[in-house]
Amino acid sequence: MSEHPRLHSIPGGRDDRPQVPPTPPEPLWREVLGEQLRTLRQDRSETLVETARRAGISPQYLSEVERGRKEPSSEMIAALAGSLGTTLGELTGQVADELRARRRIAFLRRSAPRSGAGPTLMALAA
C-alpha cells in the first residue's frame, strides 16, 4: 500500500484560490415583520402608545416586536395589522415579498464579480 505525500502550506505563501465572502445570515421573519410594522406605524405618524392601545398591547411589547426581539402570535399580528389599517394577509404578504427581495439581493451580491477576483493580468515594462 503506497502512502500519498501530505501537502503542507508554504510559510508566507499565498492561497490563490478565489475567496468567497461568508454568506450573511438571512433576516429572521420576526425582524422583517417588525420593520414592516414600524414603517406602517410611522407612515401613519403614530406613536407606539397610540398603535399599541388600539391593538390591545403594551407600548413596550410593540417596541420589542418592531425591533424583532419578540415573535408575536398570529392573533397579535392580526390585531396589530388591524390597528394599522391593513389585514393579516396583506401584512404577511408584504413581509414575504421583502424576504424574497432581500434573498435576491444577497444572491446577486454573492454572484457579482468582485474587483480583484479572478485572473490578474500583469504587464512587464522592458
Q: What pLDDT score was predicted for residue 63? A: 99
- For the question of whether the overall pTM of this predicted structure is more than 0.75, the answer is no
Q: How confident is the model at residue 22 (pLDDT cuts 50, 70, 90)?
A: low
Following CA atoms 36, 37, 40, 43 in sequence, which dihedral angle do they give, to the nearest 10 degrees? Answer: -100
Q: What is the residue-averaged pLDDT of the chain?
A: 84
- At the topology level, CATH places domain 29-110 in 434 Repressor (Amino-terminal Domain) (1.10.260)
In the chain, count of helices (H) and strands (E)?
5, 0
